[in-house]
Amino acid sequence: MDKAIPESLQAAIDRVGNAVDLIRDQPIRAFSHGLGFVPREFTNWREEALAWHTSCALMDQSHHMTDLFIEGPDTVRLLEHLGVNSFAGFGNDKAKQFVAVNGDGHYIGDAVLFGLGDTSVDLVGRRTVIDWVEFNARSGDWDVTLDRDPQSVQRGGRPPRLYRFEVQGPSAGPLVEKLTGQPIPDVRFFGMATLSIAGHRARAVRHGMAGQVGFELFGPWEEGAEVYDAILRAGEEFGIKRVGSVAYSTANLESGWIPGPLPAIFTGDDLAAYRAWLPATSAGSLGGSMASKDITDYYVTPYDLGYGRLVKFDHDFVGRDALRARAELPHRHKVTLVWHPDDAARLFSSLWTPGPTYKYFDIPKARYGQFQMDAVLAGDRQAGISMDCGYVVRDQAVVSLAVVDEEFARPGTEVRVLWGESPCSAKPTVEPHDQVEVRATVESAPLDRFARTKYRAAAQA
């Protein structure tokens, strides 16, 4: 029997009549790091989440991301066409955060791009931008070949093509030196080097998800177990701690990376062919209190997300003219919102006290849609969008990452987060509940001072 052809995103929008209604009710759970392939906890998530501050954390990133291997003479030309980034000097053993937008300059997605050779790359991340690049590569006149390696949950039981491990924290440098018998590679942020670990050749990228010093190591899956064991042995004297999927999910709250802005793919005649190609289930699910019926109200730009430093006009790319026109205009700013502890306590205690019951806030990560969009309020108006929220154990604080209008972006500004949906959507993660306003204080993003200064300065050097 022939396999059924999945409904396209465009067909689903036409059937439902509104893109917001479609994705608000889609029964797709929030993105999960481990996906059942990485233990939720090795010890407990509280201590594991402290390890990248106090010693050294070991994270297994082999299963939750999608890899798109691109090879051929037009590889860089294709990526230049789709990415806002400059590709001057990019090539083998170089890496960068790749950002793509639509023709109006609205964000579609971002991922990490690894140069594996002069005409060979691996684009790694959430599927939003992977889908976009794959569609353009297949539908355009590009001399490239593609090899897509999906998340482990979609791989049909076969292993990943690559292992991917992260070591990060104050002891990450000494650990790598002991592991390799060599000084730490002299590479800048997002620079790459080749290391010898347990007799195997491993590639190392200098960066870290939680804003601390770190290296991402990757190589053939078949060598991963030996490399992993070697890291653990070398890390014993440094107090290395394995990090499960629960603690890992909070790292971005400290580093300031927003993992789930809504991709701006739901409107525009120029994207009609893409929506006809993309399965509706790939569009994800929308959660949160923001209630506009206009899907474009949920769109953001690279400037809103703090990616203005990555936008370079030294090449032609999709959305170039729109971004150039926006470059000097006011825009929203990425911030951390620190929720008022009394209000957060009231939210939690509604589970066991008489009165309204508020939307369950899962600790340490509370996102209940793939794209979390909660209204940020100031006075009687919406001042921004809270896009990811959870608990940071080091700071003993409930926080969210948000984009807010410029006038509310100064640290110390008081705003309110509207938590919960009204009316409640049909997502399986949403129970009947009441909405509640939570006071919050604007702080910088990243929240971590080291990530905000020395670490980010290296990224822009």
Name the E strands within 118-276. Answer: 120-125, 145-149, 162-168, 192-197, 200-206, 214-220, 240-243
- ∠ CA 387-262-115 to the nearest 5 degrees? 100
Alpha carbons 106 and 266: distance in angstroms, whole number: 11
Q: Which amino acid is at 222?
A: E
- Asked if residue 136 lies in contact with residue 145, where contact means CB atoms within 8 angstroms, the answer is no
Alpha carbons 390 and 397: distance in angstroms, whole number: 8
Nearest-10 crossing angle of helices 127-139, 75-82: 120
Classify residue 326 by burial, with Cβ atoms within 10 Å: 0-12, 13-18, 19+: buried
Residues listed for the chain: 461
Is 407 annotated to bind a ligand? Reply is no
Alpha carbons 36 and 42: distance in angstroms, whole number: 13
Tokens of residue 97, six digits: 């955060």
**Phi, psi dihedrals of residue 120, rounded to the nearest 5°:** -140, 130
Nearest-10 crossing angle of helices 224-235, 172-180: 120
Alpha carbons 256 and 446: distance in angstroms, whole number: 4
Alpha carbons 295 and 291: distance in angstroms, whole number: 10
R_g of the chain, CA atoms, integer Å: 22
DSSP 8-state class, residue 450: H
- Asked if residue 195 lies in contact with residue 204, where contact means CB atoms within 8 angstroms, the answer is yes
- Asked if residue 437 lies in contact with residue 245, where contact means CB atoms within 8 angstroms, the answer is no
Closest CA to 127 of 274, 260, 288: 260
Query: Does residue 423 have a cis bond before it (omega within 30 degrees)?
Result: yes
What is residue 348's three-state secondary structure?
Answer: helix
Q: Can you say how many angstroms the Cα of residue 448 is from the centroid of all Cα atoms in its chain?
A: 17
Q: Tell me the sheet residues that pair with 163.
A: 219
DSSP string for residues in 53-104 = HHSEEEEE-SSSSEEEEEESTTHHHHHHHHBSS--TT--TTBEEEEEEE-TT
Residue list, annotated binding site for substrate: 216
Q: Which residues are annotated as a binding site?
A: 216
